[in-house]
Structure 1
């Protein structure tokens, strides 16, 4: 047996906007019919949050659900619960067409928190992050610099960012450099 470790061991870049690797997180990719009551119910049971609409995310601490595509949802649970979550989904959806995979150890998760966190992300992503267009509860799959990533707002000053573990160091340094460069003042 092995001891799982996070991509960057909780690395932090402090500042007016702090970038922090959030450690081990349980993440399960579930593809199937997102309108299925059985699928929605098992996801709600595992996370305790409402099933998200298109482009949405619902989270509470280290639990949550994120709409990833018309047939895919990301189920977020504590890291120690990810394998059990896969088994519960398989049992609940037996006989249905679906694919479920524990992707926890293939991903890294970051927090970007502070007064101009929206600008930190906006400098890196080709997405409209104006406060009238992007709000808490919305999710984007896009790019940060040169890598695929997804992000959502936890609150007015906090984003969570997910990327592949293989590009975690690049993503962390990119976010830290954007934060360290300071405000632009455009989205204020």
Structure 2
């Protein structure tokens, strides 16, 4: 079996913000109606986190559970924990109409860090950053591709499809070029 690798070999860029591709990271798509009584109990039992509210992300250590839509959650966790977590969630939700899928190798993940990190995404995403809550997960687009992002510890984490990883890295690095700040100073 081959060893897991990030889409761009953990590429990075230093501009007015730091752009880093991180990974490999484990990602699980869990599709189920959020009003299922078993769902919150299964998440708590397996991950130690409950069901996030609409457009929110919950964090415990290296594990995150984010609301993606009324019937989809994104679980981000260490890559090596994916298989056991998929099995545990599948067992905990047995008999319920749901889908638990390992999407780790279909996604890429980036960190945008620094005091002016928000300015990088402001140029690329149609989001009102003044209204963005600290625990909010935004499913949007970055230029022409779908993406999701949230704020955490000195910056933002952005998830996109692996097939567009080089395009997204190019967008982020171009947006973070020194001298192109929206609000210099």
TM-score interval (norm. to shorter): over 0.9
Structure 2 CA distance for aligned equivalents of residues 76 and 96 of structure 1: 22
- Taking only aligned residues, the RMSD between alpha carbons, in angstroms, comes to 1.7
Structure 1 CA distance for aligned equivalents of residues 17 and 55 of structure 2: 25
Match of 1:46 in 2: 46
CA 176–46 in structure 1, closer or farther in 2 if over 3 Å, else same = farther
| TM-score, with structure 1 as normaliser | 0.91
Structure 1 CA distance for aligned equivalents of residues 46 and 144 of structure 2: 33
Structure 1 CA distance for aligned equivalents of residues 31 and 71 of structure 2: 5
Q: How far has the Cα of 1:9 moved from its partner? A: 1.2
Q: Contact 2:28–2:102 at 8 Å: present in 1 too?
A: yes
Instruction: List runs of 5+ in structure 1 lacking aligned partners.
Output: none
Instruction: List runs of 5+ in structure 2 lacking aligned partners.
Output: none
Q: Contact 1:123–1:178 at 8 Å: present in 2 too?
A: yes
Structure 2 CA distance for aligned equivalents of residues 108 and 44 of structure 1: 26
Tell whether 2:68 aligns with 1:74.
no
Trace 1:8-47 onto structure 2 (pairs within 5 A): 8-47=8-47
| Partner SS for 2:89 | helix
Cα-to-partner distance string for 1:105-126 (whole Å, 9 max, x where unaligned)? 0000000001111111011011
| Partner SS for 1:180 | coil
Match of 2:172 among 167, 175, 181: 175
Structure 2 CA distance for aligned equivalents of residues 10 and 81 of structure 1: 20
Match of 1:159 in 2: 156
Count of residues in correspondence between the two structures: 184
